Amino acid sequence: MLVFGATYYVKRPFGWQSAQWYYSKAYMGAIMSYVIVIYKTYGPPQINLEFLHRLMVDENVEYLMLAFYWLTQPSMVVTLVPFVVFSLFHVLTYLRSTLIPALFPDVTAELQRSRTPGGDQSVRLSAAARASKIMNDWSSKYYTPALREVGVWEVAVIGAWLVLGAVTFQTPLLAPLFYFQFLRMRYALSAPTRAAFRRVRSTLDSVLTPPGASTKVPAVVTDSYIKVRDYLVAMGTNILNPVAQQQQQQQQRQR
């Protein structure tokens, strides 16, 4: 996934056709990765509702379905970014925790000694130990910020791309509907996704609503944005509060 995804973005500026092969292979890699992770977590498939429920609330299953859907659709340059970012951290973790210790068995003890209070700090780490430490420090520093930015990318960039593409008939009309269902699941189950929605809302509020909005922004744009925003806020509240959703449905039936 990481190799083909990165190669796709390197080759994409030089032509769509030359990059397309790497795009499809990247998503095949993503599908294979998620299938392995899910199988290792849950084992062979079971035919019962409890097993199905466990799958449906697992983010790996959600991203597996999304990767399969993007693979079957015309390529969209923005969709691959989250998968490439996830793969980068997964590869670093695998290299640091599995591959390097397997090839250099002394690395683990070497790093433990360097972290032990009162240990000999003057001992120079081997190249493998230094590489493992650099990957660990880099991942620890950037993993959480990267997840935050990926969340905003999923909400704002991919969402806007699909809506604009559907309006201009550049992407299938089903694509934004499928993707918004994915976002709905992520909103219900993922705190970073909810935080991403809040960040996007805060930014749009400052640009499109008074007092921060520019006088050049047409009133119809502001009014339309407020209506869409309030609708999405209400939807998000219902997602997180099933009781309120049931009460609202009962009120609608009574009307």
Chain segment 138-164, per-residue pLDDT in tens: 999 999 999 999 999 999 999 999 999
Cβ-count burial of 173 within 10 angstroms (0-12 exposed, 13-18 middle, 19+ buried)? exposed
Distance CA 236, CA 196 (A): 13
Distance CA 28, CA 68 (A): 8
pLDDT at site 182: 94
| Within-domain flag for 152 | yes
| Within-domain flag for 99 | yes
Say if residue 110's pLDDT is above 90: no
| Within-domain flag for 121 | no
| DSSP result, 73-85 | S---TTTTHHHHH
pLDDT at site 123: 64
Average pLDDT for residues 166-170, to the nearest whole number?
90
Band of pLDDT at residue 243, cut at 50, 70 and 90: very low
Residue type, 185: M
End-to-end Cα separation, the chain, in angstroms: 52
| Within-domain flag for 242 | no
Distance CA 73, CA 254 (A): 42
Say if residue 210's pLDDT is above 60: yes
Structural domain range at position 25: 2-106+130-208
How many domains does the chain divide into?
1
Distance CA 67, CA 59 (A): 12
| Within-domain flag for 145 | yes
| Within-domain flag for 230 | no
